[in-house]
Amino acid sequence: MTESHPSDDKALVRHRPEDLAPLRHKTIVLVGLMGVGKSSVGRRLAHVLDLPFRDADNEVEAAAGRSISEIFAELGEAAFRDGERRVIARLLDEPPHVLATGGGAFVNPETRALINDKALSVWLKADVELLARRVGRKDTRPLLKGKDPVAVLTELARIRNPAYAEAQVHVQTGDTPHGVAVDAILAALHERQVQGASSE
């Protein structure tokens, strides 16, 4: 497991092509709690790597023909997780891309094993208070309906962090521009690659 902090590195001296090329051979899957920036950071990461970007939540909605809120309300969380797992399995069979997953996806043992087998998993970490400020700006998340974001996120972190910790790369993020998180991800992926080459 590789861990990186945004201040660790200037991220590959501004993304040299020779450093980025080896990172395009495998799908990169971003995991972590809601509000950590998986979709917004993922889009920027995909742009830097010149890879397609996929958002698992959007793909689930497209497959189901309804919003995630509607899936939760009409079918329940178990049905949503089952559909999410099948969608992610399909996406992992596509050519390399950057994939942002929903906060609960990586907690499912079958989905987690699939991601770690077929892709590179990256846990984006952030303080609960920061996440609560971010998610409190929207009223579109089923798990937060009518609840205190700090309390919900604290409990989700307690339950989900052990699963997230099984991600192959850990990146601590903060209240900084998304480009800083992208740099930290690239630095951590590069470090993992260097470590892998030296251990062969």
DSSP secondary structure letter of residue 37: -
Give the tokens for residue 153: 């996120």
Asked if residues 84 and 105 have their Cβ atoms less than 8 Å apart, the reply is yes
What pTM value is reported for the model?
0.87
Task: Name residues of the chain where pLDDT drops below 50.
Answer: 6-13
Res 9: pLDDT: 41
CATH number of 22-198: 3.40.50.300
Q: Which DSSP string do the residues of 108-136 spell out, in sequence order?
A: SHHHHHHHHHHSEEEEEE--HHHHHHHHT
Distance CA 7, CA 10 (A): 8
Domain residue ranges of the chain, discontinuous segments joined by + = 22-198
Res 13: pLDDT: 43
What residues are designated binding site for substrate?
57, 81, 103, 160
Res 32: pLDDT: 96
Res 6: pLDDT: 47
Res 62: pLDDT: 94
181 vs 4, 35, 71, 174, CA distance in Å?
A: 10, 13, 31, 8
What residues are designated binding site for Mg(2+)?
39
What residues are designated binding site?
35-40, 57, 81, 103, 141, 160
What residues are designated binding site for ATP?
35-40, 141
